[in-house]
Amino acid sequence: MEKKLQMVDLHGQYLKIKKEIDEGIAAVLETCAFINGPQVKQFADALASYTGVRHAVPCANGTDALMISLMALGLRPGDEVVVPAFTYAASAEAAAILGLVPVMADVDPVSFNMTAGNIREVLTPKTRAVIPVHLFGQSCDMEPILSLADEYGLYVIEDNAQSLGAEYEFSDGTVKKTGAMGTMGCTSFFPSKNLGCYGDGGAILTDDDRLAESARMVASHGQKVKYRHSVIGCNSRLDTIQAVVLGAKLPHLDEYCAARREAAAYYTRALRNVEGLDVPEEMPFARHVYNQYTLRIGCGRRDELKDFLEARGIPSMIYYPLPLDRQEAFCRFSRESASLEVSRELASSVLSLPLHTELAHWQQDMVIDAVKEFFKQ
Ligand SMILES: *Cc1c(COP(=O)(O)O)cnc(C)c1O
């Protein structure tokens, strides 16, 4: 049977590891240890070792991971947290909900990521933390961001929700996994992320023993000892069934990333010389893991291309149609001092094509032919 072209193909991926997943879930059903079963810690330890950090603290989702990190760091209302203007809203939201001030920085037009230069433009004496988001699967240029943070005494919270498995190379040749370079790293296991579970999940990564303990306490109603609440926390857990799914999938993450890179290279070879679009670029310091394959479309033709593809049964998505400063909930945080021109321009020109671990070349050829046909008109 011909498979329908989709943005993600979770079912195809599941079928390849069905036996292990089904048996693992059945084992949880037998023990009924739905919360805090031993598989949760097993997965957290495996994730810490995969990313090369001392601690991985599991939680309910990626947005909670960001919020718990900000709480564990003890930031106070009015403290400023720098976030990119071109991203998913979760990082700004986590700050704002705690009474912190999300300050929007612009991004680089080629990598789509916030740079140290962008951050520098919006620093004030109230800045306490920065949240670099490794967007679409590619690492931010972390070395300059880490030295800027050092210079100003800022915490760095990496939003690694889209880039688990990606790497960054420092100028001395050291290679680190994204999420493992800042004060804390946050990730999400939403089903469509590179390591996705079958519901919601998230985790916080850190090398700092004290911060790991704080994050654990915050995620557990502020308790270290049961029924002794030391701080105001929240309730944010990764459940055992999700930990089983993640435990089964983590050993395949490198394969999944390689499949994504291969599919991206196939698109890029075919589309790089098409006039009217820019293919995504891999920065020299980054090993991109393509959570999204995102084109930039020139001449205001993005929406027209999207409709053209849709008419041919080819899905595509706009991540993200509005920069933060144009969002009703966040526009109040926008500042005149910051030029967010690149973020605005990207919001009106980006288009993500279908890309997942199960994508076949004939499916990609369909997409490629349609894109080429559009630009020939
Ligand atoms: C998905 C995502 C999140 C939030 O993760 P959830 O698990 O959905 O809460 C945060 N930041 C970015 C960049 C994301 O893509």
pLDDT on residue 2: 58
Mean pLDDT of the chain: 97
Sequence ranges of the domains in the chain: 10-250, 252-376
Distance 90 CA to ligand 1 centre (A): 6
What value does the mean pLDDT take over residues 194-220? 98
Average pLDDT over residues 140-150: 98
- Nearest ligand 1 atom to alpha carbon 87: 13
CA of 137 to the centre of ligand 1 (A): 12
Q: Is the pLDDT of residue 188 over 80?
A: yes
Give me the CATH code for the 252-376 domain, please: 3.90.1150.10
Measured by CA distance, the residue closest to atom 12 of ligand 1 is 161
- What is the distance between the alpha carbons of residues 83 and 69, in angstroms, rounded to a whole number? 14
Q: Where are the alpha helices (DSSP H) in the chain?
A: 10-16, 18-31, 38-51, 62-72, 90-97, 116-120, 142-152, 209-219, 240-249, 253-271, 302-311, 341-347, 361-376
Q: How far does residue 279's CA lie from ligand 1's centre (Å)?
A: 24
- In this prediction, residue 8 has a pLDDT band, given cuts at 50, 70 and 90, of very high
d(CA 7, CA 315): 6
Query: HSE on the CB side for 91, CA within 13 Å?
Result: 32
- How far is residue 123's CA from residue 128's CA, in Å, rounded to a whole number? 9
Pocket (CB within 6 angstroms of ligand 1): 61-63, 87-88, 90-91, 133, 159, 161-162, 188, 190, 200, 202
Q: Characterize the bridge pairing of strands 184-188 and 202-206.
A: antiparallel
Instruction: Specify the pLDDT at position 1.
Output: 46
| Whole-number percent of the chain with pLDDT over 70 | 99
Average pLDDT over residues 139-148: 98
Distance 209 CA to ligand 1 centre (A): 25
Mean pLDDT of 72-88: 97
Fold of 10-250: Aspartate Aminotransferase; domain 2 (3.40.640)
Phi-psi label, residue 29: left if phi above 0, alpha if psi -120 to 50, beta otherwise: alpha
Atom of ligand 1 nearest to the CA of 291: 15
Query: What would the mean pLDDT of 351-361 be, rounded to a whole number?
Result: 97
Of 309, 329, 280, 304, nearest in space to 135 by CA: 280
pLDDT tens per residue across span 295-353: 999 999 999 999 999 999 999 999 999 999 999 999 999 988 779 999 999 999 999 99
**pLDDT grade, residue 4 (50/70/90)?**
confident
For 14-69, write each residue's pLDDT tens digit: 999 999 999 999 999 999 999 999 999 999 999 999 999 999 999 999 999 999 99
Q: Which of 162, 197, 239 to mutate to test the pocket of ligand 1 (most atoms within 8 A of CB)?
A: 162
189 CA distance to ligand 1 middle (Å): 8
- Measured in Å, residue 91 CA sits from the centre of ligand 1 at 8
Query: Each residue of 237-246: pLDDT tens digit?
Result: 999 999 999 9
The arithmetic mean of pLDDT across residues 69-92, rounded, is: 97
| Calpha distance 286→279 (Å, rounded) | 16
| pLDDT over 90 at 3, yes or no | no
- Dihedral, CA of residue 163, residue 286, residue 89 and residue 65, to nearest 10: 50
